[in-house]
Amino acid sequence: MAEVISMADIEASAARIGIDLSSINLDSIQLPPGEDFGIQSGDDGDLYQDDPLEFEGGFGNIIVVDNLPVVPPEKFEKLEGVIRKIYSQIGTIREGGIWMPVSPDTQKTLGYCFIEYNTAQEAELAREKTNGYKLDKSHIFAVNVLDDFEKYMKVPEEWKASEIKPYMPGENLQQWLTDEKARDQFVIRAGSNTEVFWNDPRQLMPELVHQRQYWTESFVQWSPLGTYLATVHRQGAAVWGGASTFNRLMRFAHPQVRQIDFSPSEKYIITYSSHEPSNPRDSHRIVINIFDVRTGKLMRDFKGNVDEFATGGSGGVSGISWPVFRWGGGREDKYFARIGKNVIAVYETETFTLVDKKSMKVDNVVDFSWSPTDPILALFVPEQGGGNQPARVSLVQIPGKEELRQKNLFSVSDCKVYWQNNGEYLAVKVDRYTKTKKSTYTGFELFRIKERDIPIEVLELDNKNDKIIAFAWEPKGHRFAVIHGDGPRPDISFYSMRTSQNTGRVSKLMTLKSKQANALYWSPAGRYILLAGLKGFNGQLEFYNVDELETMATGEHFMATDIEWDPTGRYVATAVTSVHEMENGFHIWSFNGKLLYRISRDHFYQFLWRPRPPSLLTTEKEEEIAKNLKKYSKKYEAEDQDVSMQLNEQDRKKRKMLQDQWNEWVAKWKQWHEEERQFRIQLRDGEASDEEEEYEAKEVEVEEVLDVSEEIVADQD
Amino acid sequence: MRPILMKGHERPLTFLRYNREGDLLFSCAKDHTPNVWFADNGERLGTYRGHNGAVWCCDVSRDSMRLITASADQTVKLWNVQDGVQLYSFNFDSPAKSVDFSVGDKLVVVTTDPFMGLPSTIQVKRIARDPNEQTTESVLTIKGPVGRINRAVWGPLNKTIISAGEDTVIRVWDTETGKLLKEADKEIGHQKTITSLSKSADGSHFLTGSSDKSAKLWDARTLTLLKTYVTERPVNACAISPLLDHVVIGGGQEAVHVTTTDRRAGKFEAKFFHKNLQEEIGGVKGHFGPINALAFNPDGRSFSSGGEDGYVRLHHFDPDYFSIRM
């Protein structure tokens, strides 16, 4: 980038070389052609080098309507009126934007016309809506965008087999998993920079992997297994990855994309955008595309009004809730589903069509969620008919669509579903009205999915009037934590789905009284939990060991807004993002609550750990390792020691170097100082100078006359 | 030791200065009256009444007889330290921001703010031994830097003047000719306003604090960057220990944002760094506003800080401070 020169600088340098700026006509100065005096124009920065701007060229906003009736001149105006009526509903037609050519011989129309809209979006919409429009039996419109004609004309007459490109082995996209020090990566976004780092807790600082300015236009996102980093641009989304650095692997064209979502095993990416309607009375238009991540092929697109995609069933006012499509069926990316009015539409990815070619009808359904591991849907239908029809939670198996289990619930105000991440348990938090209907209280229905007939257990808290502030399952475990209470210092309880004798009963492990916490973050490996007080609690942190039921450490990251465990459960990141004006940045903690390092960044937007694919070890193997941890950890402990010795050595050397350098300076200064001594004394008029001992303490008695008064003393004599 | 809280100002502190013996501490604030205190026990000795605007800076002569103060009332006043009598008043066309006596106390360098279309200036005045012979004309006037010049001090042997201010560039000027001799490199220099500048005891190096949340140590002769100290808050004040290899820098969240959050968020700490390792040693909390002024006692055994909160805090170091190992 060129150095920015302000007017003030120009004035200053003009003054220095003695030029009166006001006497110069700046416009009259012309540089020799092709000469820029080394000053780069600010326009051609790196910003657009990768993605050249796509200008609106061509005739994208003009459509051609075919199969119009052929009419004589006297009916010309009537036909034009009809066409104008049809097409002005869809968008704004430019002035003089309808042109219907007339045959010079017969003076009759030729059966087609051109319509020019204000925008290409309107033209596209008109093409979609009226292609195949039946004016009457013999006149069915064929509508095309003018730009497409060129494309169709170019289609060669004869089919040629496309060239088969030689196979190029791709990069190892999983390279980062083979890091020798078994470190994890994370991405941060601050200011206009996006940076990927290794978390290096041994060095107590991050190590930069890759950095780019303007890498994304709104946000970045890792794919669920960590293979790709997705960026969002005006033209669409892109995914990045690679063995050593980040290269662009694929682009997905979707103008003005707003949201993206990966399928659980990264096969597909869903992109979403919403467009302002040209007519303010209309609702927003929504475009959703599903791409294959590796090939970039568009698998399916969905277009329509907001209302068609809005959740909340009956009301329909609640707008879009992202993700619109939710992926299910575990790691195979087999099914995805969305909710509509009185239906759940389940699609399968083999054909990208509805399962059984029809949506599943569920009257008044308001919410659904997939089991994280199995193709099982949990549906919630609220109470109907003023309480005559109870609310219902049901589990439905896909693709058979048979109901596995159902539970009716009475006087329900709201329901929320929490799956345990292995899909073993399901907790439904039910808010019920009290008898007076004036207030609500909360209970839990706990489903054991993997057991025969899916037994359901009801759990109520000791004080059932307590408000539930947060709920979280232990990942891969059988425990859950609840924050409950009304006051400013709520309680936290831990429950287990097993008791020591009986595996089929839920039992309470512990209640911690009056904690400053309102959010729960389990370690991804289970066992440890971070109790966090965000927002009103200013970022209080408590690291708790649930096996031993004891607090390991407490800490504070003032005003923390975000907390994320690394995928292995070894480290925790707490961050203050730019929602707060001050002290943006992140802290990295060890799992047991030791603050490892802090990084400050202005305008800090995002912190995301790079996810890891699930472990390939079997459960037995994992248990074996946990049992013989000492044996396995020896190697790493030795490494740790090596590194810390090395670091100490480096540190000592560096300090010594700095100290030597400093001493050198000081010696030089001292020398100068001595040399200049005489001059200094001279400057001080001969007064002996620098050191303290050269001045002597003199005691000076000062007599000051405070008052003089005259008194007449009587003469005694 | 417990700090001594000195409440004598009604407005935010702007500057602190010890005399050479280290027995007196002069404080300036946005109220119009500089104070003088016993640097040992924090007792107030007296005030210097006469200014009609915020007092930005002061300096005391080597023999502790004369005090000179720069004020926003567009004057620089010369005082008798002992009895607080105003000896002379230099009038300017714009607010005076900083003053500094030369070696020998015969010259003084004054900076004035840009005001009503006038550019900022650096001016040198001669100080007469007898106040009755004092004249007002400037020996030298330097113009050039854009924006406020927050501080100008004398270089070694009065041969140069070092200036720093809002345009983030540190400049060295020739005192004979008024020519620009050196300019700090923009790349390695501060990125935002330089708020403070403080010389080492022997004048061989100096420390600058900036709103870019860092302080930098420079060689006074060559203007080479020696060290950088990074903090989490804008730096308003800095000082170099005359005894140990320590520097102290202070500041905090900008005053306009202070009321919006918790006091802990402001980080109104005086932070100690090791001068050549650039590592943080510790912090001294206490102020409930940003720190605007810092000064070390010339014996290096105590320091004082002045805050936006109107307090001066006088800290005598505990014995273990002198045995800190890095």
With cut-offs at 50, 70 and 90, classify the pLDDT of residue A635: confident
Is the CB of residue A229 less than 8 Å from the CB of residue A246? yes
With cut-offs at 50, 70 and 90, classify the pLDDT of residue A125: confident
Give the gap in angstroms from C-alpha A532 to the nearest C-alpha of chain B: 18
**Is B146 within 8 Å of A12 when comparing Cβ atoms?**
yes
**Does residue A583 carry a pLDDT above 80?**
no
A664 shares contact with chain B (CB less than 8 Å): no
DSSP, collapsed to helix, strand or coil, labels residue A641 as helix
With a CB cutoff of 8 Å and minimum separation 6, the contacts of A7 are none
Give the gap in angstroms from C-alpha A563 to the nearest C-alpha of chain B: 19
Confidence (pLDDT) at A21: 62
With a CB cutoff of 8 Å and minimum separation 6, the contacts of A151 are none
| Closest Cα in chain B to A539 | B265
One-letter amino acid for residue B31 of the chain: D
Give the gap in angstroms from C-alpha A593 to the nearest C-alpha of chain B: 21
**Is A684 within 8 Å of B253 when comparing Cβ atoms?**
no
With cut-offs at 50, 70 and 90, classify the pLDDT of residue A316: very low
**Is A12 within 8 Å of B144 when comparing Cβ atoms?**
yes
Pairwise CA distance, residues A73 & A231, whole Å: 56
The residue among A135 and A500 whose pLDDT is bigger is A135
**Does residue A57 carry a pLDDT above 70?**
no
Minimum-distance CB partner of A582 among B103, B146, B257: B257
**Does residue A631 carry a pLDDT above 60?**
yes
Pairwise CA distance, residues A302 & A321, whole Å: 16
Name chain B contacts of A690, Cβ cutoff 8 Å: 202
**Does residue A281 carry a pLDDT above 90?**
no
Confidence (pLDDT) at A190: 92
Pairwise CA distance, residues A231 & A219, whole Å: 6
**Is B102 within 8 Å of A683 when comparing Cβ atoms?**
yes
Give the gap in angstroms from C-alpha A680 to the nearest C-alpha of chain B: 6
| Closest Cα in chain B to A683 | B104
* Closest residue by Cα to residue B143 from B110, B119, B176: B119
Choose from A53-62, A504-513, B145-154 the range with maximum mean pLDDT: B145-154
Pairwise CA distance, residues A1 & A44, whole Å: 9
Name chain A contacts of B221, Cβ cutoff 8 Å: 672
Tell whether ipTM is more than 0.90.
no
With cut-offs at 50, 70 and 90, classify the pLDDT of residue A692: very low
Give the gap in angstroms from C-alpha B45 to the nearest C-alpha of chain A: 18
The residue among A27 and A632 whose pLDDT is bigger is A632
**Does residue A47 carry a pLDDT above 50?**
no
Give the gap in angstroms from C-alpha B52 to the nearest C-alpha of chain A: 31
**Is A582 within 8 Å of B264 when comparing Cβ atoms?**
no
With cut-offs at 50, 70 and 90, classify the pLDDT of residue B263: low
With cut-offs at 50, 70 and 90, classify the pLDDT of residue A229: very high
Give the rounded percent of residues in chain A with a pLDDT score beyond 90. Answer: 28
Pairwise CA distance, residues A249 & A257, whole Å: 18
Alpha-carbon distances, residue B9 vs B6, B34, B306, B310, B314 (angstroms): 9, 8, 10, 6, 14
Confidence (pLDDT) at B85: 94
Minimum-distance CB partner of B276 among A538, A662, A683: A662
Minimum-distance CB partner of A680 among B157, B204, B253: B157
* Closest residue by Cα to residue A11 from B143, B223, B125: B143
Give the gap in angstroms from C-alpha B91 to the nearest C-alpha of chain A: 27
Q: Which residues pair with B162 in a beta bridge?
A: B153, B172
Minimum-distance CB partner of B157 among A8, A12, A676: A676
A581 shares contact with chain B (CB less than 8 Å): yes
The residue-averaged pLDDT of A682-687 equals: 79
With a CB cutoff of 8 Å and minimum separation 6, the contacts of A6 are none
Confidence (pLDDT) at A44: 42
**Is B277 within 8 Å of A673 when comparing Cβ atoms?**
no
Give the rounded percent of residues in chain B with a pLDDT score beyond 90. Answer: 73
With a CB cutoff of 8 Å and minimum separation 6, the contacts of A662 are B245, B275, B276
B7 shares contact with chain A (CB less than 8 Å): no
What mean pLDDT is reported for chain A?
84
With cut-offs at 50, 70 and 90, classify the pLDDT of residue A367: confident
**Does residue A15 carry a pLDDT above 80?**
no
DSSP, collapsed to helix, strand or coil, labels residue A150 as helix
B171 shares contact with chain A (CB less than 8 Å): no
Give the rounded percent of residues in chain B with a pLDDT score beyond 70. Answer: 96
Name chain A contacts of B157, Cβ cutoff 8 Å: 676, 679-680, 683
DSSP secondary structure of A211-247: EEET--SS-EEE-TTSS-EEEE-SSEEEEEE-SSS-E
The residue-averaged pLDDT of B34-52 equals: 94
The string of pLDDT tens digits covering residues A409-431 is 888 888 889 999 888 999 999 98
**Is B261 within 8 Å of A582 when comparing Cβ atoms?**
yes
With cut-offs at 50, 70 and 90, classify the pLDDT of residue A197: very high
| pTM of this structure | 0.70
Give the rounded percent of residues in chain A with a pLDDT score beyond 70. Answer: 88
Pairwise CA distance, residues A522 & A519, whole Å: 10
**Does residue A275 carry a pLDDT above 90?**
no
The string of pLDDT tens digits covering residues A438-452 is 888 888 999 999 888
Minimum-distance CB partner of A673 among B204, B260, B265: B204
With a CB cutoff of 8 Å and minimum separation 6, the contacts of A245 are A209, A210
**Is A559 within 8 Å of B265 when comparing Cβ atoms?**
yes
The residue-averaged pLDDT of A331-342 equals: 85
Name chain A contacts of B226, Cβ cutoff 8 Å: 665
With cut-offs at 50, 70 and 90, classify the pLDDT of residue A159: confident
Confidence (pLDDT) at A164: 83
A673-693 core/surface letters (b: 16 or more CB in 10 A; e: else): beebeeebbebbeeeebeeee
With cut-offs at 50, 70 and 90, classify the pLDDT of residue A24: low
**Is B257 within 8 Å of A684 when comparing Cβ atoms?**
no
B143-152 core/surface letters (b: 16 or more CB in 10 A; e: else): ebbbebbbbb
With cut-offs at 50, 70 and 90, classify the pLDDT of residue A223: very high
Name chain B contacts of A664, Cβ cutoff 8 Å: none
Residue A223 tokens read as 């794919």
Alpha-carbon distances, residue A377 vs A362, A396, A404, A428, A449 (angstroms): 12, 5, 10, 13, 12
Give the gap in angstroms from C-alpha B269 to the nearest C-alpha of chain A: 15
A693 shares contact with chain B (CB less than 8 Å): no
Confidence (pLDDT) at B150: 94
Q: Which long-range contacts (CB under 8 A, 24 or more apart) does A172-175 make?
A: A172/A243, A173/A227, A173/A228, A173/A241, A173/A242, A173/A243, A173/A249, A174/A227, A174/A613, A175/A242, A175/A243, A175/A244
Residue B230 tokens read as 């990074």
Minimum-distance CB partner of A683 among B103, B219, B226: B103
A680 shares contact with chain B (CB less than 8 Å): yes
Confidence (pLDDT) at A688: 61
**Does residue B251 carry a pLDDT above 50?**
yes
Pairwise CA distance, residues A643 & A650, whole Å: 10
The residue-averaged pLDDT of A216-232 equals: 93
Preferred mutation among A11, A556, A680, A702 to probe B, highest tally of B CBs within 10 A: A680
Name chain A contacts of B253, Cβ cutoff 8 Å: 582
**Is A669 within 8 Å of B232 when comparing Cβ atoms?**
no
Name chain B contacts of A658, Cβ cutoff 8 Å: 276-277
Which conformational region is residue B218 in: left (phi greater than 0), alpha (psi within -120 to 50 degrees), or beta?
beta
**Is A538 within 8 Å of B262 when comparing Cβ atoms?**
yes
Confidence (pLDDT) at A677: 86
Minimum-distance CB partner of A655 among B158, B204, B277: B277
A8 shares contact with chain B (CB less than 8 Å): yes
**Is A690 within 8 Å of B275 when comparing Cβ atoms?**
no
